[in-house]
A and B are shown apart, each in its own frame.
Chain A
Amino acid sequence: GQQLNQSPQSMFIQEGEDVSMNCTSSSIFNTWLWYKQEPGEGPVLLIALYKAGELTSNGRLTAQFGITRKDSFLNISASIPSDVGIYFCAGQLRQAGTALIFGKGTTLSVSS
């Protein structure tokens, strides 16, 4: 099946540092979404991207939809302890109403 390669798998950073994670695929996606998940809870949408080259910010978070439509990155600036969690990229290959394919996630740990 289709796969998204998400890296890094985990990150251990100090409070105040910037973070960058990315997802790549051999397939072209119509939509890229970034979610954050905390243990036992549902994924929470952070940023949605719909057009190649689109750069979108949400507070300290910035994400971009790659020009080739095969990749996306998420940056977090000035990390804080509550940023701890698992970050997932997700892409949609086909039309609305169809599956999201998830990356394996990036586990972020922030020490104060």
Chain B
Amino acid sequence: AAGVIQSPRHLIKEKRETATLKCYPIPRHDTVYWYQQGPGQDPQFLISFYEKMQSDKGSIPDRFSAQQFSDYHSELNMSSLELGDSALYFCASSQPRVQQDTQYFGPGTRLTVL
């Protein structure tokens, strides 16, 4: 079965640079979520979108922004990167009207800020 696709899988940036992470949800899933996971930590919710509108917001820094496009894929834009932004970033998708809100996670993007 098709899964959530994230790109790139690995990304290395310098401090103060920008980064864009992409997420392609499971086909027919209309809701996407972004989570950040630091080393040895549990995933922390950043933001989610349903039908291209923001549906929930968590501990997302003001330096980060995200959007969902008409084909339901989503992009997380990160600016003025800091060392502390180094983490695994996961996208999840769901189809709440059909399958309640079961969130399926992608393989993640490992961001390293030097």
Report which A residues bind B (CB closer than 8 A): 31, 33, 35, 40-45, 48, 50, 88, 90, 92, 94-105
The distance in angstroms between the C-alpha atoms of A102 and B36, with both chains bound, is 12
Contact of B45 among A41, A95, A99 (CB under 8 A): A99
Task: Give the A-B pair count, Cβ closer than 8 A.
Answer: 71
Contact between A88 and B107 (Cβ–Cβ < 8 Å)? Answer: no
Given the complex, which residues of A lie within 8 Å of B104, measured CB to CB?
45
Majority secondary structure of chain A interface residues (helix, strand, loop or mixed) = loop
Produce 1/0 per residue, B3-28, CB < 8 A to A. 01000000000000000000000000
Q: How far is the CB of B69 from chain A (nearest CB, A)?
A: 17
Contact between A100 and B103 (Cβ–Cβ < 8 Å)? Answer: yes
Majority secondary structure of chain B interface residues (helix, strand, loop or mixed) = strand
Contact between B96 and A103 (Cβ–Cβ < 8 Å)? Answer: no
Q: How far is the CB of B24 from chain A (nearest CB, A)?
A: 14
The distance in angstroms between the C-alpha atoms of A90 and B45, with both chains bound, is 11
Q: Could you jot down 11 A-B contacts, CB within 8 Å?
A: A33-B103, A35-B105, A44-B105, A50-B100, A88-B43, A95-B101, A96-B50, A96-B96, A99-B58, A101-B45, A102-B42
How many chain-B residues does the 8 Å CB contact rule pick out? 30
Produce 1/0 per residue, B35-71, CB < 8 A to A. 1000000111100111000011010000000000000
Contact of B101 among A31, A35, A43 (CB under 8 A): A31
Given the complex, which residues of A lie within 8 Å of B44, measured CB to CB?
102
> Which 5 residue pairs across A and B have the least CB separation, nearest first?
A96-B96, A97-B55, A99-B45, A102-B42, A96-B101
Contact of B102 among A45, A94, A105 (CB under 8 A): A45
Contact between A43 and B55 (Cβ–Cβ < 8 Å)? Answer: no
Q: How far is the CB of A102 from chain B (nearest CB, A)?
A: 4
Contact between A42 and B94 (Cβ–Cβ < 8 Å)? Answer: no
Contact between B43 and A43 (Cβ–Cβ < 8 Å)? Answer: yes
